[in-house]
Amino acid sequence: MHKIHLESIQLYAYHGCLHEESLIGSNYSVDVMMVTDFTLAANSDDLSQTIDYCEVFNIVKEEMAIRANLLENVAARIVNRLKNELKDLYKVTITITKLNPPMNGNVKGVSIIIEA
């Protein structure tokens, strides 16, 4: 088994339960760790034999653009699309971090993680 990791995809989106979050938005960081077998790609040097991480980036970007109250909802949608649209994806872990969340304290970020 092999892994492909898209690390710290930086996006701006409008997720959150507070009305203000839907208006002003926030910065997010998304990590995607995928387990696959890219032996054929390694031997053939052929992109069609592995997961194209540009396609993964576009799926993450599209789903992050759809507003949700909960990051759990966004992450579940990303996982579902990846599993439905990518061949040879055995396992995926999505981490979405809301940077500087609106809390009564100094918090660098709040993350949710889904493994599927």
Q: Considering 83, 91, 98, 108, which one is annotated as catalytic?
A: 98
Distance between CA atoms of residues 37 and 51, nearest Å:
9
Catalytic (active site) residue 3: no
Q: For residue 108, give Cα distances in angstroms to 24, 34, 74, 77, 102.
A: 18, 26, 20, 25, 10
What positions carry a catalytic annotation? Answer: 98
